[in-house]
Structures are given as C-alpha cells and as structure tokens.
Amino acid sequence: MTGYFLQAFIYLVAAVIAVPLAKRFGLGSVLGYLIAGVVIGPVIGLVGEETSVIQHFAEFGVVMMLFVVGLELEPKMLWGMRHRLMGLGGLQVVLTAVAVMAVAIWLEFQWSIALTVGLVFALSSTAIVLQTFNEKGLGKTEGGRNAFSVLLFQDIAVIPMLAFIPLLALPDLVDKAQLVATSAAQQHDEISLVAGLPSWAYAMVITAAITGLVVGGHYLSRPLFRFVASSGLREIFTATALMLVIGIAALMSLVGLSPALGTFLAGVILANSEFRHELESNIDPFKGLLLGLFFITVGAGIDFAILWQQLGIILLLTLGLMLLKALVLLILSVVFKIRKSDRWLFALSLAQAGEFGFVLLSFSVQNHVLPTEMVQTLSLVVAISMFLTPGLFIAFEKLIEPRYRVAKSERKADDIDELGTVIIAGMGRFGQVVNRLLTANGVKTVVLDHDISQIDVLRKINIKSYFGDASRADLLHTAGIEEASLLVVSMDNPDSATEVVKYVKKTYPQVKVLARAFDRGHAYMLRSAGADYIQKETLLSALELGADAMRCLGFHPFHVEQQKNIFRRVEKRSSDVLYQAWCDDSSGERFDNNYRKLFIELEETIKQEMVKDRSDKHATSERGWTPPPKGYDEILEGEEPIDSIPTIADGRITP
C-alpha cells in the first residue's frame, strides 16, 4: 500500500511542478507531462519497472478521450464528414504506409517487416494532437478539422491492422518464440469471451456486442440518467458516467475489440442526449488526469541506455519519419485544397507517430512479426516523435501563423458576427423567453438547466436543452464558454447566479454577461459581480400592470405611457447613486439608514417628476408637447424671424 501511495505521489508531484511551468513557457501541457515523465523516469530513476503496468492503466485516458470526442460528434455530423474521413484519412494511412514500406525495403528489410513498420508509423497521436488543439483553440479551424478526421480514421484503422498483422508472422521468429515459450505460460492470461470460438460465432458475438451498445445507448441511457439525475446526487451521476465508460471498455475488451473505439461509438450515440454536457464535464477531469498520466509514462518509458547506444540512428529515423509524414500530408493538403496556415497546421500537427504505435509494436512482437530488438528501437522513434510534436505546434504558432495573420487583418471586418453563440444558464420561465427571441432570430444558443423535468418539457416542444448545473465551472466549459460571446444568467437561485457571474467575468472577461436579478438587492450583487446587463425580473412587467391599472382608472393611454417612461428613467438614473450607497455599506447590513434615506428620496423624485408641468422651469414630463404661451405668436406677425428675434424686448413675453 505504502508503495502505491509513494508512486502516486511522485507522479503527481512531477505533474504539478512540470505542467504549470511548461504552460508558463508556452510549451503546452503535453510537453510538460512528457518532461515530467523523463525527469522522474530515466533521469532521476524514481520510477521505472512499473511504468508499463501504469501505462496500461493510463491508456484508459485515451479511451476516455475518445468517449468525449464521440460526445462532441453527432451522428449527423459524422455522416457529413464521411468523405473527408475516408478520402483524406484513408489516403493518409495508405500513402504513409507505402512510403515507409518503400524506405524499409530500400534498407533491405523483409517485405512483411517493412509493411508492419509502415502501418505502425502511418498512425499519429490522437492524444497529443487533440489535447493541443483543445488548449490552443485550433480545433475549429479548417486545418484542425481535417486533422481530426484523419485521426479518427486512423483510430478506426487500428482494428483491421490488429486483425491483419498476425498474418505477417515470420516463421523463424515463431520458431524462436516457441523454443522460449514452451515452458512458459501461454499468452492467454487475459480474460476473453471469444478465445477459441469458431469464426462465425466470433462474428456473431461482435455483432451482438455492437448492436447491444447502440440499442442500449439509445434506449436505456436516457431512463438510466433520468433515474440517477432525479436523485440529485452529483457524485452518483459521476459514478454513472464512469460506470458507463468502464463498462463499455470492458465489454469491448472481452470480445476482442478496441475499447477506445467502443467508447467512441458510445460517445457518438450519446451525443444527441440532453445529458451530453453533464456527462462530458463529469468525465473530463478523469480524462485529463489519465491522459496526463499516459504522457508521463511515455516520457518515463524512454530507455536512455538504448537511446545513447543508437542515438544517431534513432534521431535520423525520427526526423526522417516526421519529414516523410509531413510531406505526405502536404501533398494531401494540396489535393484536398486545404490552404494557407491551415495547410501547415494540418501537415505539422500529424507528423508524429502515435500511442497506438506502441500498441501495434508490442502486438507485433507477441505475434512474431517483428524482432524484439527492432521494436525497442522503433518504440523510441515513436516516443521521440511524440516528444517533438509540441515543438512543431510552437513553430506553427510562432513562425507560420503570424505570417498569415497579417494578411487576414487587412480584410474588412464582417458586419455581423454570426459565429458567436449564446449560452443560457437557467431555462425557467425567464430564460425561455430570452431563448425564444434569440433562436427566432437565428442566433445559436446552448441551453442549460439543472431541473430534469424542465428539460423534459422543453424537449417536448422541440427546444434543444441540456441537463446540468450551470454553477459548475466545468459544465460552462464544456458548453463552450470560451467561444461564446454572451452568457445569459437566468437561474432561479440568486446566490448561484451571482457566483456564475463572478466566475465568468473573472475567468473569461471577454464574454458579455447578461443577468436576471431577483430583486433590487440581487441586482446590486450581480452588478458588483461584474454583470454587463441586468434586468430585474419583475420590474418591467410590474410597470406594465401598473400602467394597465392607470388605464382602467381612466388615465389617457398616451399619458400612461409617458408616466411609465418617466418612472423607468428616474429609476435608472438613481440606481447608480443607490448602488454606490449599497456598496459603501459593506458592513453586511445593506439596508442601513443612508440607503433607506436614498430610497425614500428616489420615491419622492419619481412623484415629483410625475406631476411636473410646463410652468416648472425644469419640467420634463410633458416637455415639448405642451403649447407655447398664449399670444406668443403676435410678436412674429409681419416680421422677418431671423432679424426680429434678437430685437424683441416686448414685455408681453415672459420667459
């Protein structure tokens, strides 16, 4: 037990120190984790032997990442990108594999070895690339989207590769292995449902598993989540999310499929669910930590002894590989018309080998396709190319992007920013009206509410909304607060509404926050929390009802309208003064004497303004619609206005 604590502590310390430092130097978190791994592994030697065990565990981070990726992809969207997925992704894998194979054959390797190495190197690192895209906000760019479809294709392509590679087994390697392995236990220490099944049964099991996943995900997930959500226990929802991911990963492993792909599929199935954002924010912290752990193990797994021995050849291979991959990607970017800075982003981001490379390499050793010594070297090539990737991103950011950015800024700005989305937190009676007005005008909104029955009602009338507690920072994050231009806070709980405003204005000052206030005091709290626009929820409707009352009493409708405007104007004018008084009374007792006095003054002002008339020098109420004094026009008779006005000294007119 003590050993585990110690190990966990070392890993966490390394991450806690290295990652913030790396971020501060603009290197990105991935490089931070990798460096942390190198430091605690090969450099200081605090960790070592258990790395491969932890790596298996950490690979679960990749599984979770694909689940989250799946959550963001609706099936419709996936179908929409099928051409790019197959065309761009397929060509990338085939061309890279062929190119690497050609080089390997030229180096006089056997064709089967060459082909396997080609397949291994055709893959890129989904983990590093997506994590970096996320951090740098590159995912929505043209280059980012294309890179994403290639990564997706690669992750799918791993499955046929796993099926295909054993066919390439080399007879002499098999012989050698059999000599060693006869006494040792068989490889099948892993639990498997499908071991020893005939192929037709195997196919049926797989079909059944996937069908179960799709059908279950579609029909069972919603009642399950609703049942859990109605308990109101946040940790149980988190547990459910974890249960789901782990369960699917287990099921896929049992039937011999890739867990990562299984969870990806589950994510896609759940992408349409109203629980999507809540699920994502529940999984996200686990995903982040496990991915970090994975990167650390990559760093820690670098075998410096072998690296020093073959430094030259490994570096040559790594750089050659990255150059080759970038070249293939550049050619594809020309064919698929990816332009400008996006072309470079596309080519540079995918020019490394990936984590599935490790999987394939160890798999090929097990299946006697590649010799062990060779795999050790190739693993280093994979690891180092991953290590160099953050550097490529930095190069892209510092060298390539600025060159294109200059050209971009010369373009005239668009009239309307259609891209900006609005997040509406709280879909009660208030938020709904806001949402209806916005969506009716073609504004895209993301709607959050923590009341599941409310979400149900909204779904029934075709309003897309998501279950989740908007006072949680992570949920706002997954709802896309970074890219949103407005946040409407219309949650029923005044305190959590204030908290949300405070958090968002502090963390994302560029987001305009519009908040609904419960009453005057809440309005002041929201204002001091930094809300940009505040409406008191009942003020305007109460004013309308008051106006109805006046009309019932026989006041002229237009007069009523004017008095309403005056009320609103005076209220607005005095609110600054009252707010100041409210702020000064920070003793906790908000309604002390000074404030009360000011409030009474406000009431008095409103009354005065209402009864003011023309005769008053400062009249504002009916100003402009009252006629001039009687007899004023007699002075104009027969005179030229321009000249006559200054010369009037007639006692009849009094100012």
Partner 1 sequence: MSEIKKRILLLLAHPSQHRSEVNIPLFEAAKSIEGVTAVDLYGEYPRFDINIEREQQRLIDHDIVIFQFPLYWYSTPAILKEWQDLVLEYGFAYGADGVALKNKLFLCALSAGGKEDAYKSQGYNHFTIRQLLAPLEQTASLTGMRYLPPLALFGARTAIEDNRMSFYINNWQRLLKALVEDRLDLRKAAKLDKLNDQLDSIIRGE
The residues binding partner 1 (CB under 8 A) are: 565, 569, 620, 623-625, 628-629, 632, 635-636, 641-642, 645-646, 648, 650, 653, 655
Question: Which of 186/441 has CB closer to partner 1?
Answer: 441
The DSSP string of 418-470 is: -S--EEEE--SHHHHHHHHHHHHTT--EEEEES-HHHHHHHHHTT---EE--T
- Kindly give, in sequence order, each residue whose CB lies less than 8 Å from that of residue 17, ignoring residues fewer than 6 positions away: 36
In whole angstroms, the minimum distance from the beta carbon of 620 to partner 1 comes to 8
Q: How many residues does the chain have?
A: 655
Q: Which amino acid is at 602?
A: L
Q: What is the dihedral of CA 43, 47, 48, 49, to 10 degrees?
A: 170
Rounded Cα gap, residues 95 and 320, in angstroms: 15
In whole angstroms, the minimum distance from the beta carbon of 655 to partner 1 comes to 6
Residue of 385, 404, 292, 295 whose CA lies nearest to 345? 404
Question: Which of 495/613 has CB closer to partner 1?
Answer: 613
In whole angstroms, the minimum distance from the beta carbon of 596 to partner 1 comes to 30
Question: Which of 577/653 has CB closer to partner 1?
Answer: 653
In whole angstroms, the minimum distance from the beta carbon of 650 to partner 1 comes to 8
- Quick one: CA dihedral 425, 427, 433, 437, positive or negative? positive
Other C-beta atoms within 10 Å of 592: how many? 14
Question: Which of 110/620 has CB closer to partner 1?
Answer: 620
Question: Which of 308/558 has CB closer to partner 1?
Answer: 558
Tokens of 471: 């006072």
Tokens of 315: 């570096």
In whole angstroms, the minimum distance from the beta carbon of 628 to partner 1 comes to 4
Using DSSP's 3-state secondary structure scheme, residue 187 falls into: coil
Q: What is the dihedral of CA 377, 381, 387, 390, to 10 degrees?
A: 180
Question: Which of 477/614 has CB closer to partner 1?
Answer: 614
In whole angstroms, the minimum distance from the beta carbon of 568 to partner 1 comes to 9
Tokens of 73: 């992809």
Q: Are 10 and 47 in contact (CB under 8 A)?
A: yes
Question: Which of 506/569 has CB closer to partner 1?
Answer: 569
Question: Which of 272/565 has CB closer to partner 1?
Answer: 565
Residue of 473, 451, 455, 355 whose CA lies nearest to 30? 355
Q: Which amino acid is at 635?
A: I
- Quick one: CA dihedral 539, 540, 545, 551, positive or negative? positive
Question: Which of 52/644 has CB closer to partner 1?
Answer: 644
Question: Which of 405/569 has CB closer to partner 1?
Answer: 569
Rounded Cα gap, residues 379 and 359, in angstroms: 10
In whole angstroms, the minimum distance from the beta carbon of 544 to partner 1 comes to 14
In whole angstroms, the minimum distance from the beta carbon of 131 to partner 1 comes to 43
Tokens of 282: 């529940």
29-38 vs 276-300: helix axis angle to the nearest 10?
40
In whole angstroms, the minimum distance from the beta carbon of 618 to partner 1 comes to 10
Per-residue buried b or exposed e for 167-182, using 16+ beta carbons within 10 Å of the residue's own CB: ebbbeebeeebeeeee
Tokens of 115: 């082909």
In whole angstroms, the minimum distance from the beta carbon of 132 to partner 1 comes to 41
Question: Which of 554/631 has CB closer to partner 1?
Answer: 631
In whole angstroms, the minimum distance from the beta carbon of 641 to partner 1 comes to 5
> Strand order in 466-467's β-sheet?
466-467, 445-449, 422-425, 486-489, 512-517, 533-536
Question: Which of 323/648 has CB closer to partner 1?
Answer: 648
Q: Are 247 and 217 in contact (CB under 8 A)?
A: no
- Quick one: CA dihedral 368, 372, 378, 379, positive or negative? positive
In whole angstroms, the minimum distance from the beta carbon of 619 to partner 1 comes to 11
Rounded Cα gap, residues 641 and 4, in angstroms: 98
Rounded Cα gap, residues 259 and 119, in angstroms: 20
Question: Which of 219/533 has CB closer to partner 1?
Answer: 533
- Kindly give, in sequence order, each residue whose CB lies less than 8 Å from that of residue 200, ignoring residues fewer than 6 positions away: none
Rounded Cα gap, residues 545 and 646, in angstroms: 49
| Residue with the two structure tokens 């995918």 | 350
In whole angstroms, the minimum distance from the beta carbon of 434 to partner 1 comes to 18
Question: Which of 583/636 has CB closer to partner 1?
Answer: 636
Residue of 507, 496, 494, 434 whose CA lies nearest to 469? 496
In whole angstroms, the minimum distance from the beta carbon of 624 to partner 1 comes to 4
Question: Which of 464/614 has CB closer to partner 1?
Answer: 614
In whole angstroms, the minimum distance from the beta carbon of 591 to partner 1 comes to 31
Tokens of 21: 């430092």
